[in-house]
Amino acid sequence: MNEQLLPAVNALAGRFTATASEFRGETTLMVPSEQLVAACRTLRDEFGFNLLEDETAVDYWPQQEPRFHVVYQLYSQPGYLRLCLRVPVSGMHPSVPTVEGIYPNANWHEREIWDMFGIRFEGHSDLRRILMPYDWEGHPLRKDYPLGYEEVAFTFNEDEINQGKPYAKE
Amino acid sequence: MGIEQKAADMGIVTMRLEQAVNWARTNAMWPMLFGLACCAIEMMAAQASNFDMSRFGMELMRASPRQSDLMIVAGRVSRKMAPVLRRLYDQMPAPKWVIAMGDCASCGGIFNNYAIVQGVDEVVPVDVYVAGCPPRPEALIHGILTLHEKVRGESLKKWA
């Protein structure tokens, strides 16, 4: 692990129930969702992680439980350091506290995660869909979301498929 | 000396009205700018100097649907774009035509999933489909000439 990261990692491991792991030079901290906001505030105010580079989510269904990980990529501009936070959440209607109050750019990232994974962000100021149409049903990047493809037409089933297609009128 | 010869000497040409109207329509057909994806690059190439669509009276792409009578849907149409496409089509003055350029606009192409409309004919009536991924400019020009042929075949009865 990068030595400069040690104070931040040790502080988080001491004050919160965070477990650190490392893969190919990237340090990741697993943080429970109820401690997320406090951990982010500590990292920003005391250790200089003043930039939220990216916020995204992963769906590990059906291999893992809890199935969702919300991933925060933090960057420290004074120290040139990167740190990854992961928050595991489970269930069909998961929710995580928003970090919008600490990193304002989380707003759109969280809207995208809500749109694509259906993870609610408690306290978010404007939690609407951002990519899909507002009246869309479901959250497409979930692993159990149906792809919704159309059957491929060959000569033997072409007529059948064409009958079901909603062709536009003038 | 027949009447045609005499009239021609005076600068008068006789022809059927629908022939004249269709000739005017085909030779000044203004397409609407509707580049949605990579097909739009080929559409631009079709208008640029190497292929030069202005030979067929089509050099003027209009940014407004109210000034255009041909919609070239160049690229995949997402479900979110579909209402916009329909609205732009409804804003075009009649007579109007639609070319579905490329596989994605014709039938969904490689994007057989929830996010892409499986053929733009679900949203607007299509006159000519141009196959290819993306089609070469020659293919697009062939599609447009095919449409011109269709327009030339239209009769007075249909306008009313």
Q: Which chain B residues touch A169 with a CB distance below 8 Å? A: 125
- State the Cα–Cα distance between residues B71 and B92, nearest whole angstrom: 9
* pLDDT at residue number B1: 62
Tell me whether residues B121 and A168 touch, CB distance under 8 A: yes
* pLDDT at residue number A17: 87
Assess contact for B97 and B151: CB atoms under 8 A: yes
Q: Which chain A residues touch B118 with a CB distance below 8 Å? A: 150, 165
Residue-wise pLDDT for A53-95, tens only, equals 999 999 998 898 889 999 999 999 998 999 999 999 988 899 9
Confidence of residue B7 (pLDDT cuts 50, 70, 90): confident
Q: Give the distance from residue A98's alpha carbon to the nearest chain B alpha carbon, in angstroms.
A: 27
Q: Which of B76, B111, B114, B159 is the best mutation test for A, with the most CBs of A within 10 A? A: B114
Of A140, A168, A169, the CB nearest to B114: A140
Residue-wise pLDDT for A91-137, tens only, equals 889 999 999 999 999 999 999 999 999 999 999 999 999 999 998 88
Helices (H), chain A: 6-15, 36-47, 106-117, 158-164
The token pair at B9 is: 């000497």
**Per mean pLDDT, which range of A5-14, B46-55, B150-159 is the poorest?**
B150-159
Q: Which of A57, A56, A47 is nearest to A9 (CA)?
A: A47
Residue-wise pLDDT for B136-149, tens only, equals 999 999 999 999 99
Q: Which chain B residues touch A140 with a CB distance below 8 Å? A: 114-115
Tell me whether residues B122 and A165 touch, CB distance under 8 A: yes
Q: Give the distance from residue A96's alpha carbon to the nearest chain B alpha carbon, in angstroms.
A: 27
Tell me whether residues B125 and A133 touch, CB distance under 8 A: no
Q: Which of A135, A142, A149 is the best mutation test for B, with the most CBs of B within 10 A? A: A149
The pLDDT of B32-45, averaged and rounded, is 89
The token pair at B117 is: 């409309």
* pLDDT at residue number B15: 85
Tell me whether residues A152 and B112 touch, CB distance under 8 A: yes
Residue-wise pLDDT for B83-134, tens only, equals 999 999 999 998 899 999 999 999 888 888 888 988 898 899 999 999 999 9
Q: SS3 for A59-106, per residue?
A: ECCCCCCCCEEEEEEEEECCCCEEEEEEEEECCCCCEEECCCCCCCCH
B26-39 burial by CB neighbour count: b if 16+ within 10 A, else e? beebebbbbbbbeb
The token pair at A1 is: 């692990």
The pLDDT of B78-83, averaged and rounded, is 91
- Check whether B59 has a pLDDT greater than 80: no
A134 in contact with chain B, both atoms CB, cutoff 8 A? no
- Check whether B160 has a pLDDT greater than 60: no
Tell me whether residues B113 and A146 touch, CB distance under 8 A: no
Q: Give the distance from residue A165's alpha carbon to the nearest chain B alpha carbon, in angstroms.
A: 7
Tell me whether residues B125 and A170 touch, CB distance under 8 A: yes
